[in-house]
Amino acid sequence: MIRISVGPDDFDIAVETARVSGQGGGAIASFIGQVRDDGNLQSLALEHYPAMTEKALHKIAETARADWPLHAVTIIHRVGKLAVGDNIVLVITGSDHRGAAIEACSFIMDKLKTVAPFWKKETRTDGTTKWIEERASDVDASQKWDLRKN
């Protein structure tokens, strides 16, 4: 089972974990990303192109299911204006084995950061705004999975 959701609404971690748990298996891994406070951030706005975004997330989830023995994958990503501390993303993977669940969860997050078409704009406490550039560390983390297959 693959569940993809992109929208402005927050997610209920317990509900989403129970949904994956109900798909069988003995291991569940998850990652929750939140708006990080650097001391000067007022809000973060996330934009996307819906048809492209959902297609990219499905492809990432399908690749994870092909590479690891997963019973379930959930990817929830929020868009819109978010405050410091708000949830942004939830990834949950379910498998018979913890190694597969953990690795697949990490793979999905690394690919999501570089493949999924999301655009982020920060609003600082002084009122200035800035679009966020892709970080080299995110690209490196994503590429390590490509090297793993060679």
The DSSP result for 83-140, as a single string, is ETT-EEEEEEEEESSHHHHHHHHHHHHHHHHHHS-EEEEEEETTS-EEEPPPPHHHHH
* Higher-confidence position of 139 and 56: 56
Look at residue 136 in the predicted model and tell me its pLDDT. 80
Query: Number of folded domains in the chain?
Result: 1
Residue-number span of the structural domain to which 77 is assigned: 2-148
Q: Give ∠ CA 34-124-139 in degrees, rounded to 5.
A: 50
First to last CA, the chain: 28
CB 66 within 8 A of CB 124: no
Structure confidence at residue 85 as a pLDDT band (50, 70, 90)? very high
CA distance 52 to 150: 28
At residue 41, the pLDDT reads 94
Domain containing 117 — which CATH number? 3.90.1170.40
Mind listing the pLDDT tens digit for each residue in 98-146? 999 999 999 999 999 888 889 999 999 999 999 988 888 877 777 888 8
Average pLDDT, the chain: 91
- Report percent pLDDT > 90 for the chain: 75
